Amino acid sequence: MNQNELKKSLSKLPLGDVKYFESIGSTNDEALAWAANDTSDLSIVVADEQTAGRGRLDRKWFTPPGTALAFSLILRPTAEEKPHLTRTVGLAALAVAQSLRTRGLEARIKWPNDVLIAGQKVCGILTESVWSGEDVDCVVIGIGVNIRKESVPPVETLQFPATSIEAELGHSVERLEVLRDILAAFVNLRPSMVSDEFITQWEKLLAFQGQPVQVDSGSTPAVVGHVTGLDSDGSLRLRNDHGESIIVRFGDVRLRPFA
């Protein structure tokens, strides 16, 4: 991958500016700094390697060189989109999941910010907002996708099993084609983000639908219940053993199957 190949591959998509780095700390950090300079909507930072890739709460995200996709999109929301920005992570997850499904992979979304194949994490998403007073000026959407087997972190460092696209497909794929497909899916889906139908589409690809899960949030006791769907803002709906409906809001939550 290099700047020319990247620009050529993305040239037909309605994106903003494109920045490529052979190696960088974190594409989200670069995009957050860039966004402060009136960068146009859908500008993108792509890196071959991240040396300080971040997950939520500054957990580490592993991106060794030549093995994965690590990129950050700058979304400048329209006035119509602004009331629906809690759906942004769903928009990114749906774009990734749909594009993997067109390759024959059974991708599902583990609420709130992961994409799984066969119950294993293949993609993590980190959204961060840039505020201007009381208003969100833009959202940086960081997406990491494991392409080659070498992009999967050592198993002893993981709390949730992980996989890569090539391990699941059993053959090699072009990283730039995967990137282009994800971005094309994102652009196609974006207009629907403001509609109720968007939540239905997101629900259809939720992992663990109808199954028991445990959600840990660190501060409050863990919540256990069966997944029933999503609220209109993208919060997760569960039903507990007493038949009560529970809404789990976004935040530093971890979801796993409940045995």
Residues that bind ligand BT5 (CB under 6 A): 26-28, 50, 53-56, 59-62, 70-72, 113-114, 121, 124-126, 142-144, 146, 151-153, 158-159, 162
Residue 117 or 239: which CB sits closer to ligand BT5? 117
The residues facing 3 across adjacent strands are none
Residue 134 or 153: which CB sits closer to ligand BT5? 153
Residue 9 or 146: which CB sits closer to ligand BT5? 146
CB of 144 to ligand BT5, least distance (A): 3
CB of 100 to ligand BT5, least distance (A): 14
CB of 89 to ligand BT5, least distance (A): 10
Residue 17 or 80: which CB sits closer to ligand BT5? 17
CB of 237 to ligand BT5, least distance (A): 20
CB of 245 to ligand BT5, least distance (A): 25
Cα distance between residue 248 and residue 259, in whole Å = 19
Residues of 150-188 as b/e, b for ≥16 C-beta within 10 angstroms? ebbeeeeeeeeebbbbbbbeeeeeebbebbbbbbbbbee
Cα distance between residue 182 and residue 221, in whole Å = 36
DSSP letter string, 22-71: EEES-HHHHHHHHHTTTPPTTEEEEEEEESS-B-GGG-B--B-TTSEEEE
- Local structure of 213: helix, strand or coil: strand
CB of 94 to ligand BT5, least distance (A): 16
Q: Which residue is nearest to ligand BT5 (CB)?
A: 124
Residue 56 or 237: which CB sits closer to ligand BT5? 56
- Local structure of 113: helix, strand or coil: coil
- Find tokens 């009331």 and name the residue: 83
In angstroms, what is the C-alpha Rg of the chain?
18
Residue 70 or 193: which CB sits closer to ligand BT5? 70
Residue 76 or 121: which CB sits closer to ligand BT5? 121
Cα distance between residue 172 and residue 165, in whole Å = 8
CB of 18 to ligand BT5, least distance (A): 15
Cα distance between residue 44 and residue 81, in whole Å = 19
